[in-house]
Amino acid sequence: TNITIPNFQTASKLRILQDSDNIYFVVKYPKISRICEKIKLLPVIHSKKIINLETDIAAHCAPDYQPLTNCKNAATLTFCQPLASALCVEQLLNHKSAQCKTTSAEHIAPIEEIADGLIVVNDQCVEISEGTRSSVTIKGTFLVMFEGNVTINGTNHVNWKKVVKSHPEAPPSTIVKFTEHIKTLSLPYLEEVHVKNLKHIASLQQEMATKHLISIGSLRL
């Protein structure tokens, strides 16, 4: 394998033990089982919900996919451990009938730059332009790829590396059965609930004031 010493040093763990006369250096280094292509998983928003993925990192070890966890980025490589408990992700990626949970999508950024030259527009209506080209309006969920710069809703995004190293890959088609919906208490959701509660309280106060005025008027009659 073409794994350099700096890569191993980044992924290794060092422990120092000492007794009365000696100092011991214990180095725990990773055992490489396979070298695969790392992929990032991005759930698509639908009806304000997303699939609740157990992890957002997986490896493509042809022909199979393996969910990953505990990843450490080294100089030129990423060291990860297999995640055995990611049943939904494993089924989705390996052409199997999947049983997954859904969760609320309030915590998902509407516009997210995920890598150099790659931006995800999450279920939004945006105005986008590139260079001197005329702007266009798009609505929905899109992956925007660009080598120079792109403007989305007035914000300019620059790809300083001028190349797009990552490439999109659609997941295999499969049958998905949603077993449960998990409601997450994200900050946007809590803010929405707070605003709704304030509006509800204000409407109740207005209704009570109106009823009070009507009752007073009836007494005067």
Reported as a single tens digit per residue, the pLDDT across 53-102 is: 999 999 998 888 999 998 888 777 788 889 988 899 999 888 888 899 99
Query: What is the model's pLDDT at position 151?
Result: 92
* Average pLDDT value for residue range 174-200: 73
Query: What is the model's pLDDT at position 153?
Result: 92
Percent of all residues in the chain with a pLDDT value above 90, rounded to a whole number: 16
Is 60 exceeded by the pLDDT of residue 214? Answer: no
Is 60 exceeded by the pLDDT of residue 216? Answer: no
Phi-psi region of 19 (alpha: psi -120 to 50; beta: other; left: phi over 0): beta
Is 80 exceeded by the pLDDT of residue 27? Answer: no
The SS3 of residue 10 is: helix
Rounded Cα distance, 63 and 65, in Å: 7
Sign, CA dihedral 108-80-170-137, equals positive
Residue type, 14: L
Task: Kindly report, residue by residue over 118-165, the tens digit of the pLDDT.
Answer: 899 988 899 999 877 888 999 988 888 888 889 999 999 988 887 777
Is 70 exceeded by the pLDDT of residue 217? Answer: no
Query: What is the model's pLDDT at position 25?
Result: 81
**Taking the CB of residue 188, how many other CB atoms lie within 10 A of it?**
13
Query: What is the model's pLDDT at position 186?
Result: 62
**Taking the CB of residue 106, how many other CB atoms lie within 10 A of it?**
16
Instruction: Give yes or no for a contact between 78 and 38, defined as CB atoms under 8 angstroms apart.
Output: yes
Instruction: Give yes or no for a contact between 32 and 78, defined as CB atoms under 8 angstroms apart.
Output: no
Query: What is the model's pLDDT at position 67?
Result: 93
Strand locations in 95-218 (E)? 98-104, 111-115, 118-130, 136-145, 149-152, 155-158, 176-182
Rounded Cα distance, 67 and 39, in Å: 10
Rounded Cα distance, 61 and 65, in Å: 6
* Average pLDDT value for residue range 14-37: 81
Instruction: Give yes or no for a contact between 130 and 149, defined as CB atoms under 8 angstroms apart.
Output: yes
Half-sphere exposure of 168 (CA within 13 A, CB side): 13
Q: What is the DSSP letter of 93?
A: H
Q: pLDDT higher for 42 or 32?
A: 42
Q: Which of 33-42, 94-103, 181-190 has the lowest mean pLDDT?
A: 181-190
Instruction: Give yes or no for a contact between 17 and 24, defined as CB atoms under 8 angstroms apart.
Output: yes
